[in-house]
């Protein structure tokens, strides 16, 4: 089936250019794999190494089987946990239940599987290699450093029973999601407003922030669970939304959708899928680097514009105390069309 893909006509068309990719996260690795499958020489530079934990809810929603097959990575999701039910809580308790269509898999496992696939296909991977933007380099280096108001925290836990496949808890200072991944573990990941006054560190920072935001029940549950401190990580200094990127960029480097959507990983894969024909045309010598970059940027904008606008509006609603109180009140009375709103985010 794969060989009927018209993008695979490299069998008869030799490559004129190799491709360099900066960033071995989901966008960079999946594009690298897709290009290798089509015979393009690819060198990928990754600032870190594998396997490694990353701040991420590890709840993937919105990506289609067709995108995963085009990129050649569908097999890497066979062990992902299927997630279908969700519940939304705030500090006053349960708000509503939702249907979702997601998959749970840790970045520890997923990124490692992708880098293995890339190198098995003959890709050249340089780890601990941080490079600068340059013509001829596809920029997949993730969210750029900015002065954003957020801190993202993540940890894994065992002995943490969940009421639904995905639990979202909205506090007065942000939100946290709990979702199963592999081996009976639960991923705990939240986005919170930064505060200069917090003294706590490590996993106790998570429970401190939850209590500050009024989510005492959730904090109690985390304190009773077995937290894996080796999986704890945090990130700050970013803003969600359209990023000030230039050149040939994909993934969070161009569009960082707010995390509550569970769609960022999907967008990383979708952006690789969108970039693929442009990178391939450049590699075959059918277009210049500048032309490949600008057509890819235009296609990404068309693909993501609507969901970026919808998600920004809902993010503001959720993270502004007055607006979120109104939203949860309406949702409790079934006056907020939540399922249709969720469709806008895909």
Ligand X SMILES: Cc1cc2nc3c(=O)[nH]c(=O)nc-3n(C[C@H](O)[C@H](O)[C@H](O)COP(=O)(O)OP(=O)(O)OC[C@H]3O[C@@H](n4cnc5c(N)ncnc54)[C@H](O)[C@@H]3O)c2cc1C
Interacting residues toward ligand X by CB under 6 A? 22-28, 45-48, 55-60, 130-131, 140-142, 152, 189, 191, 235, 251-253, 259, 262-266, 268
CB-based closest residue to ligand X: 25
Q: Are strands 186-193 and 150-158 parallel, antiparallel or unpaired?
A: antiparallel
What distances in angstroms separate CA 162 from CA 87, 185, 266, one per listed residue? 10, 11, 24
Residue among 12, 18, 47, 13 at smallest CA distance from 35: 18
Residue nearer to ligand X on the CB measure, 271 or 284: 271
Strand 81-90 and strand 93-104: the pairing is antiparallel
Q: Are strands 59-61 and 93-104 parallel, antiparallel or unpaired?
A: antiparallel
Residue 3 CB, shortest distance to ligand X, in Å, is 27
| Cβ distance to ligand X smaller for residue 25 or 39 | 25
> Regarding beta strands 42-45 and 124-126, do their DSSP bridges make them parallel or antiparallel, or are they unpaired?
parallel
Which residue, 119, 120, 118, 140, is CA-closest to 47?
140
Min CB(334)–ligand X separation in Å: 26
| Rounded Cα–Cα distance for residues 112 and 29 (Å) | 10
Nearer to ligand X, 125 or 141 (CB): 141
For ligand X, the closer CB: 49 or 120: 49
Minimum CB separation of residue 61 from ligand X in Å reads 7
Q: At closest approach, how far in Å is the CB of 120 from ligand X?
A: 19
Residue placing its CB nearer to ligand X in the complex, 23 or 213: 23
Q: Which is nearer to ligand X, 111 or 284 (CB)?
A: 111
Distance CA 63, CA 286 (A): 29
DSSP strands (E only) in the chain: 19-22, 42-45, 59-61, 81-90, 93-104, 124-126, 137-139, 150-158, 166-171, 174-180, 186-193, 226-236, 241-242, 255-256
What DSSP state is assigned to residue 149? S
- 16 vs 10, 41, 208, 285, CA distance in Å? 11, 10, 55, 5
- Distance in Å, CB of 209 to ligand X, minimum: 12
Cβ 309 to ligand X shortest distance, Å: 17
What single DSSP character describes residue 39? T
Nearest distance from C-beta of residue 123 to ligand X, angstroms = 14
* Least distance CB 44 / ligand X (angstroms): 8
Pick 39 or 102: Cβ nearer ligand X = 102
Handedness of CA 166, 167, 171, 176 (dihedral sign): negative
């Amino acid at each position: 089936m794969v060989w009927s893909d018209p993008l695979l006509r490299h069998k008869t068309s030799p490559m004129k250019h190799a491709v360099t990719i900066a960033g071995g996260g989901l966008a960079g690795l999946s594009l690298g794999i897709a290009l290798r499958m089509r015979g393009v020489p690819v060198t990928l530079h990754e600032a870190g190494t594998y396997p490694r934990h990353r701040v991420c809810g590890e709840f993937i929603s919105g990506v289609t089987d067709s995108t995963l097959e085009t990129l050649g990575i569908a097999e890497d999701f066979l062990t992902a946990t299927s997630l279908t039910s969700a519940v939304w809580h705030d500090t006053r308790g349960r708000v509503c239940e939702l249907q979702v269509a997601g998959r749970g898999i840790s970045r520890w496992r997923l990124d490692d599987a992708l880098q293995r696939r890339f190198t098995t296909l003959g890709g050249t991977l340089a780890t601990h290699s941080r490079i600068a933007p340059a013509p001829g380099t596809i920029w997949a280096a993730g969210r750029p450093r900015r002065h954003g108001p957020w801190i993202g925290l993540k940890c894994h836990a065992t002995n943490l029973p969940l009421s639904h496949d995905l639990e979202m808890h909205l506090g007065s200072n942000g939100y946290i999601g709990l979702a199963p991944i592999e081996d009976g573990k639960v991923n705990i990941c939240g986005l919170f407003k930064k505060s200069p006054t917090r003294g706590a560190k490590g996993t106790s920072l998570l429970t401190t922030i939850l209590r500050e935001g009024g989510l005492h029940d959730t904090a109690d549950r985390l304190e009773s669970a077995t937290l894996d401190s080796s999986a704890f990580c945090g990130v700050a200094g970013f803003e969600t939304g359209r990023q000030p990127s230039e050149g040939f960029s994909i993934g969070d480097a161009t569009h960082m959708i707010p995390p509550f959507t569970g769609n960022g990983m999907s967008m990383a894969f979708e952006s690789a899928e969108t970039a693929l024909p442009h990178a391939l045309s450049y590699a075959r010598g059918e277009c210049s680097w500048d032309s490949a970059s600008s057509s890819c940027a235009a296609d990404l904008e068309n693909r993501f514009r609507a969901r970026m606008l919808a998600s920004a509006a809902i993010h503001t609603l959720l993270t502004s105390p007055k607006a979120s109180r109104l939203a949860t009140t309406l949702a409790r009375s079934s006056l907020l069309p939540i399922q249709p709103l969720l469709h806008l985010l895909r």
